[in-house]
Structure 1
Amino acid sequence: MAANQGEVKLLGVLGSPFVCRARIALKFKGIEYEFVEENLANKSEQLLKYNPVHKKVPVFVHNEKPIAESMIIVEYIDETWNNNPISPSDPHQKALARFWSKFIDDKVVGAAWKSAFTVDEKEREKNLQEALEGLQFLEDEIKEKKFFGGEEIGLVDIAGVFIAFWMPIVQEIAGLQLLSSEKFPNLYKWSQELINHSVVKEVLPPREPLFAFFKGRYESLTASK
């Protein structure tokens, strides 16, 4: 256990890419914590108390002080425990890392999700194009680097875990062409490096149950068309 780490808790669900971000940061830093599995269909009093605004996971609780929103949690963890830095120390590089992390959430995650789980064809196509444009920007940014953070994983890589692990599941279920080695060779190579990184590999949820869960959601959605 890290020195003077205090009481550390993470409220979440194992299948969430946002919860996974916090778990990667904690694992990367070697912080022991209590994981509290939430049932989002029946939210606990604890979750409603700690995150009354959004009532969502993840919620990180450090010495009874709660923090919500996955990337804010990752940055808090990084600033609280100094070992194995996640963000660059240079202010300009740090600002760029924050920019690309936010870009992933604003331009890729939502659009990719909606392109798979939206019934309206026109809306689906619009979201698909937005996701592909976002991926192209990331392809141009990563270039030949192993990770966005260089030789070791950093803030942008953690933000991008959805792209590396969840996106291939979602696109397979919905029959989409998003991330592929032909279309985005640099980004695809990065995604393989990330999901096979020793820290990330250890906290990723098992693929099969996740695939079955999302397939069920997709089938019930398409059946209701």
Structure 2
Amino acid sequence: MAAGAAGGGSDELKLLGVWVSPFVHRVQVALHLKGLTGYEYAEEDLTNKSDLLLASNPVHTKVPVLLHAGKPVCESMLIVQYLDEAFPGSGPALLPADPHDRAVARFWAAYADDQFFASWIKAFVGTTDEERAAATEAAVAALQKMEGAFGECSKGKAFFGGDGPGYVDIALGGFVAWIRAFHAVASVNLLDAARTPLLAAWAERFAALDAAKEVIPDVDRIAEFAKHDLLPLLQKLHPKN
């Protein structure tokens, strides 16, 4: 996983991230899709946050943060939108040109966070088998909704964005490696081809993209982190009173 060679205008870009974060992966994939591969990457320690991170994102103090000529942009999908608007001549457009299609893309990207991820994270941190099972069921239900969205947005093509990956692909695609790691750790396949055949096939195509392979860590490495480090980190970052 490397920042790569120089890309147009990317020498003024610096990304603050954590190697295992799916939200950081979103930004990295977007940077590579846009051809902005010369950015500087700075790994953060979330248990000992840098002064730069605290100053750049004082409200949430979390990654990712993109610095463009020293000016910070926070929140993964806001960063993706920013890259699309700030570098219109670099790489493909990530958001649709049609205003309605753009609104639909933003809706489903938000749904991936607000419904799928919000449910799924509880499957990791739930304190009982019942809580974890209910969270997994809710995450599956959210993916089934996104299965329908794929048919609507893709118009029969390979990606939510059509012939090539776009905004919703990046939003959900950032989770693909983690979904596979969850399968390895918990023996639960959220992207079951029998249940969500369109999304299961889409996930294979997304993972095969050069932009994804260049920046997203191996599933086995993420699975090891999930087994040994995720829960202690979450407990340290969000201690119970």
Q: Does 1:58 align with 2:64?
A: yes
1:94-132 CA-to-partner distances (Å, cap 9, x unmatched) read 000000000000010121121233122332233222211
Quote the offset at 1:3 in angstroms.
5.0
- Indicate conservation of the 8 Å contact 1:112/1:167, yes or no: no
Q: CA RMSD in A?
A: 1.9
| Partner residue, 2:3 | none
1:7 matched residue in structure 2: 12
Structure 1 residue 42 corresponds to structure 2 residue 48: yes
| Alignment partner of 2:187 out of 149, 155, 175 | 175
List per-residue Cα deviations over 1:41-93 (Å, max 9, x = no partner): 11111110101111100000011110110000000001000131100011000
Tell me which residue corresponds to 1:157. 169
| Counterpart among 112, 115, 135 of residue 127 in structure 1 | 135
Structure 1 CA distance, aligned partners of 2:9 and 2:109? 29
Cα deviations by residue, 1:203-224 (Å, 9 ceiling, x for unpaired) = 1113222211111147879xxx
In the other structure, the counterpart of 1:21 is 26
1:113 and 2:121 correspond: yes
Counterpart residue type for residue 30 of structure 1 = G
The partner residue of 2:78 within 72, 75, 85 is: 72
Please give the alpha-carbon distance, in whole angstroms, between the structure 2 residues aligned to 1:207 and 1:175. Answer: 14
Q: Secondary structure at the match of 2:72?
A: strand
Give the counterpart letter for 1:203 in structure 2.
Answer: V
Question: How far apart, in 2, do the equivalents of 1:163 and 1:147 lie?
Answer: 15
1:146 to 142, 154, 158: 158
Identity %: 39
TM-score, structure 1 normalization: 0.91
**How far apart are the structure 2 equivalents of 1:4 and 1:55?**
26
**Residue 215 (structure 2) pairs with residue 203 (structure 1):** yes
Cα distance in 2, alignment partners of residues 14 and 39 from structure 1: 10
- 2:239 aligns with none
Q: Which residue of 2 aligns with 1:214?
A: 226
CA contact (8 A) 2:17 2:44 kept: yes
SS across alignment from 1:111: helix
- Higher mean C-alpha deviation, range 39-48 or range 158-167: 158-167
Q: TM-score when scaled to structure 2?
A: 0.85
Q: Say whether the 8 Å CA contact 2:11–2:39 is kept in structure 1.
A: no
Distance 2:13 2:204 in 1: 30
Is this contact kept in 1: 2:23–2:76, CA < 8 A?
yes
Q: Is the 8 A contact 1:149 1:155 kept in 2?
A: yes
Mark the runs of 5 or more structure 1 residues left unpaired by the alignment.
none
- How has the CA–CA distance of structure 1 residues 219 and 113 changed in structure 2, closer, same or farther, with 3 Å as cutoff? closer
